[in-house]
Amino acid sequence: MNALPPGKTMNEKYYVGYYDGERLIAVMDLIMAFPDKTTAFIGFFMTNVDMQNKGLGTSLVAELCDDMARIGKKEVRLGWVNGNPQAEHFWKKNGFVETGATNEMEEYTVIVARREL
């Protein structure tokens, strides 16, 4: 919850909660201006399991991208764990394409992807 990319501070990190009434149905970790000032970075995005496969995630990502474009962002970036076909399918379905970059973590490799706005 406190992880940040190099050079970023907690003032640039937002936790976005999506609610249906009082019930939390999705959560997103969003870092502004990373890796540059025209880019927003999704650290993680999760929907409640009983809300999956209903179009909610796609709708929320589209709304986020529209909002980021409105405030002048040019792209949204994120990463998924290599070998996670569910995540890869979801993000590609939502217009994200692999950049060719990867991040090597201790136990897995992260595929970096982006969506132009």
Q: Are 13 and 19 in contact (CB under 8 A)?
A: no
Please check whether residue 80 lies inside any domain of the structure.
Answer: yes
The answer on pLDDT for 3 being more than 80 is no
The domain spanning residue 60 has which CATH number? 3.40.630.30
Average pLDDT over residues 73-95: 97
Q: Are 68 and 117 in contact (CB under 8 A)?
A: yes
pLDDT digits (tens, 9 = 90+) for 13-43: 999 999 999 999 999 999 999 999 999 999 9
Please check whether residue 30 lies inside any domain of the structure.
Answer: yes
Please check whether residue 2 lies inside any domain of the structure.
Answer: no
* CA atoms of 68 and 65, how far apart (whole Å): 5
pLDDT at 85: 96
* CA atoms of 117 and 104, how far apart (whole Å): 27
The answer on pLDDT for 58 being more than 90 is yes
Please check whether residue 4 lies inside any domain of the structure.
Answer: no
Domain containing residue 58: 10-116
For CA atoms 56, 92, 82, 67, give the dihedral sign. Answer: negative
Question: How many domains does the chain divide into?
Answer: 1
Please check whether residue 37 lies inside any domain of the structure.
Answer: yes
pLDDT band of 69, cuts 50, 70, 90: very high
Please check whether residue 98 lies inside any domain of the structure.
Answer: yes
Please check whether residue 1 lies inside any domain of the structure.
Answer: no
Please check whether residue 86 lies inside any domain of the structure.
Answer: yes
* CA atoms of 91 and 106, how far apart (whole Å): 23
